[in-house]
Structure 1
């Protein structure tokens, strides 16, 4: 089983047979070549000659360096990096001339060091039958990311048992992004399907990490923790918590739960499990009540009964306490399964971000079973 998971985990770096040209649908073109003697991968968008954008990475390091500049006739002048923090420091430059299938020219450091640049249109190794479906879509949609992933491999990390299922953790060493696959506990086809989705999500998080590093520049930071929250014959549920500083006004933290139907691989929506509005009447054509309109006040009522102390409304003028009786904070929900019930996380404005993620806001399965959604899932007895 571990060998099979290794094949899945390293599929982004396996050898491929057929070749395709690297050009995204939106005008971005991808090139491979050398800067000096060092192999690089370059993405350029020259559709607006006076505002050329791009990026490149050294194949050895995979970290993006931003490019910007202008194309005049057949001469492309680019600046590497930016001075977004106002330090106005000198930056490296590239001056390239268009060739039949790429670019050639020179890179120059702020101190005057010069290195030759040779680029040709990238030829992409075609996916094989063992390639993860998500990665197989990248040659057309994101050829640059596809080439980045060719040089990255997952390494097996710890193993653990969770709710009767054995988990194998994987880590991508450069980004330190980590996620698990299921080593045993499910029928073979269900387990293969779930593991493909989990490993695809891991690679998506790796791509997001590199996007954050590019946007945030030298001060960018990102950390991430992943926790399985519930595994059953029908459900795989986990939560991805990400803290990031990608060049925005403030650092931030977000939760991104994953709730998968074991038998179909589809994402489970909250309304698949919990429905509190009127059902659609197909015989009369009456539409269902808007679940979002009725869910928030219903949740407040349930939580007030279950957790009266936590749901006490703060006194007038108390701006430091968390008001969980405000319907607005329950309008956008992070939710996932747990052994005791469904966890529903409220969402507060940034200034009250400390009110997010209360430990107590779990709706017991005994309540959920009184308001079932459309998908029949085996859930624990409360």
Structure 2
């Protein structure tokens, strides 16, 4: 489930409002004396949505919209028990200038002043990050948010004679690894930049994980990172996340990573295992070719190996037992982790059967005949 969480949040948070009358306004200003960033999405036909964060906390607060008879724009945050906990009553002075009041459930009032954000004035300390440059183009509010992030080294861990430094981010409370400065890896700096980008993304996702009925406490996503392989050539680890950012149900997913310690290359699963000469990745060709290979060659062969090694049988009653590990389609896009013994695969089931998503090991000796000829390391 490569980058499942990150993709879901990216679609939710960075949706493009380019069609028709849709427009996103990124505003800065103050509620009383407190600096805020305010995001207003105008879909046309009097359909708006909004969210904002205080620069002191960086956590999104989602707001519901209603239009007053006098033309005021009213945005509020409420929960099950209180009609509203806070409310904005705004007047649009111009296209990108808003003024009004904020008040809480006890009728405390503060003045509100918002204007269009000027990204050229944002002093972001992470401009050499590819992820930050992506945010600048596609999610300006998160570009602003990221400029306030603070990372601190807090612990060191060991694995197979190697050391990893662990950093925590102040506002999101996320923790993630870097290759220790004492390691002699040729590509240490290259890989650490990629690991830093992953940590930035984790922090932004955590701070953006919000819904309409509860305040964001920076705990909506539970991350867990585990190093699974580390020798003189390769570093492998998995990043698991369980999360609830609104919607009908919580969700979860795992992403596996494998880095070449000499070149800094990040390997995809299909760079390692090839069941046919048509093997490809989405990045190398396109999703159509990638999906065709996965459906026609990867999934059938992987399912066959799994059935043989783990003695899977088709359930007699799929309504009673939906965990049919003999179903090839569940192996099309499994999540994976590169380990000392082999590769651990987790099939992806439909939403109602997500509890079936257990992990299963295929030993390297089983996978050896299918090693991608371009993968220069032995499967061991």
| SS of equivalent residue, structure 1 residue 134 | helix
Counterpart-to-counterpart distance in 1, 2:140 and 2:196: 19
Counterpart-to-counterpart distance in 2, 1:150 and 1:317: 50
Moved more, 222-231 or 344-353: 344-353
Q: How many residues align?
A: 346
Structure-1 residue corresponding to 2:104? 109
- For residue 305 of structure 2, the aligned residue among 302, 305, 326 is 302
Identify unmatched segments of 5+ residues in structure 2.
Answer: 1-15, 280-288
Structure-2 residue corresponding to 1:331? 332
Contact 2:229–2:237 (Cα < 8 Å) also in 1:
yes
Structure-2 residue corresponding to 1:185? 183
User: What CA deviation, in whole Å up to 9, does each residue of 1:310-361 have, x standing for no partner?
Assistant: x244455793484322223222200121111111111233444333123xx2
Counterpart-to-counterpart distance in 1, 2:171 and 2:369: 47
Please state if 1:78 is matched with 2:79. Answer: no
Larger radius of gyration: 1
Deviation at 1:88, TM superposition (A): 4.6
Counterpart-to-counterpart distance in 1, 2:293 and 2:92: 58
Structure-2 residue corresponding to 1:132? 129
Contact 1:65–1:80 (Cα < 8 Å) also in 2:
no
Contact 1:216–1:245 (Cα < 8 Å) also in 2:
no
| SS of equivalent residue, structure 2 residue 210 | helix
User: What CA deviation, in whole Å up to 9, does each residue of 1:256-292 have, x standing for no partner?
Assistant: 2233344554542222111112458xxxxxx998343
Counterpart-to-counterpart distance in 2, 1:169 and 1:216: 33
Counterpart-to-counterpart distance in 2, 1:108 and 1:44: 19
Structure 1 residues 25 and 374: alpha-carbon distance in aligned structure 2, compared to 1, 3 A threshold: farther
User: What CA deviation, in whole Å up to 9, does each residue of 1:212-237 have, x standing for no partner?
Assistant: 22466348833121112123444332
- For residue 57 of structure 2, the aligned residue among 55, 61, 65 is 61
Structure-2 residue corresponding to 1:284? none
TM-score after normalising by structure 1: 0.78
| SS of equivalent residue, structure 2 residue 46 | helix
Structure-2 residue corresponding to 1:12? none
Structure-2 residue corresponding to 1:211? 208
CA RMSD of aligned residues (A): 3.3
1:314-353 maps to which residues of 2 (within 5 A)?
314-315=315-316, 319-320=320-321, 322-353=323-354
Structure-2 residue corresponding to 1:123? 118
| SS of equivalent residue, structure 1 residue 28 | strand
Moved more, 145-154 or 215-224: 215-224
Structure-1 residue corresponding to 2:13? none
TM-score after normalising by structure 2: 0.78
